[in-house]
Amino acid sequence: MVDLRVDLCGIALSNPVIPASGTFGYGNEFREFYDPNILGTFSFKGTTREPRFGNPTPRIAECTAGMINAVGLQNPGIDAVLATELPRLKTFFHKPVIANIGGFSVEDYAYCCEKIDAEPCVGWIEVNISCPNVRHGGMSFGTDPAGAAAVTKAVKAVTTKPVFVKLSPNVTDIVEIAKACEDAGADGISLINTLLGMRIDLARRRPVIANTMGGFSGPAVFPVALRMVYQVAHAVGVPVMGMGGVSSARDVLEMLMAGATAVQVGAANLVNPCACRDIIEDLPVEMERLGISNLRELRI
């Protein structure tokens, strides 16, 4: 009998599989496919202080072994999430959820995190300082150790729940930034967000994405994500949530061996709405095949 349980900052998860922010909405849309309570938890859609329509279309482009998106943090805003999305979520999801928070200033992050911290259904706060699809904020904080530390410190000053800082792979030294977040009080690190990419429409002779560039995700980025998870997990003393191109139970096991405590699944949910369910079902099979009895002793 295999044991899928993991511990994330003192909160027990029945398994390590977590749909990533931006690929699972606020959970409601996936109820018709399977019971979301089979998940370890999920990270809900990136939420900002004000409502955002997002970037102009087209904002999705297909790629070999992946996709590019430039959605731009489309969301109803923190007040609507508190008034509408979370009350609905509580009616069907009976586990603590991860609140993903975006921002355009240190004050934005602190404001939203303080408000969401008061919600009993929120178990962890994931601070996204790595979105490549918005200007004047987002990734600009996550590419500079001082900026990353400033956001982390401001958020930790107004929250009581574990704070994970979500980092960008579009940097020279991911370890330096992760350490800066840890030193500023982060309880964990989430990585990686999307790589920056683009496609060109040959017939129209212009970029496919209206925003020109967007976030590249999918199976093609998995080796980069795995490398960064390994580097960070072996350099910091806080837990890491690994993500980036994960699409199978074997990918989850690789991430755990690299040092991740839990694993988020992103673009795979957009290709197959049942991706996370399938991974959870496949995990015990792969574990038995590889002689693994529990997931807490895999780190290499």
- Which CB contacts under 8 angstroms, 24+ apart, belong to 71-76? 71/22, 71/133, 72/133, 72/134, 72/211, 73/46, 73/48, 73/102, 73/131, 73/133, 73/134, 73/138, 75/45, 75/46, 75/47, 75/48, 75/51, 75/102, 76/51
pLDDT of residue 141: 77
Cβ atoms of 123 and 169 closer than 8 Å? no
pLDDT of residue 143: 84
Spell out the domain ranges in the chain.
6-54+73-198+217-290
- The per-residue pLDDT string of the chain (300 residues; one tens digit each, 9 = 90 and over) reads 899 999 999 999 999 999 999 999 999 999 999 999 999 999 999 999 999 999 999 999 999 999 999 999 999 999 999 999 999 999 999 999 999 999 999 999 999 999 999 999 999 999 999 866 555 555 567 788 999 999 999 999 999 999 999 999 999 999 999 999 999 999 999 999 999 999 999 999 999 999 999 999 999 999 999 999 999 999 999 999 999 999 999 999 999 999 999 999 999 999 999 999 999 999 999 999 999 999 988 999
pLDDT of residue 138: 56
pLDDT of residue 297: 83
Instruction: Write the CB contacts of 154 (distance below 8 Å, at least 6 apart in sequence).
Output: 106, 107, 109, 110
pLDDT of residue 165: 98
Q: Which residues are catalytic?
A: 131
pLDDT of residue 11: 98
The pTM of the whole model exceeds 0.85: yes
Secondary structure of residue 38 in the 3-state scheme:
helix
In the CATH scheme, what is the code of domain 6-54+73-198+217-290?
3.20.20.70
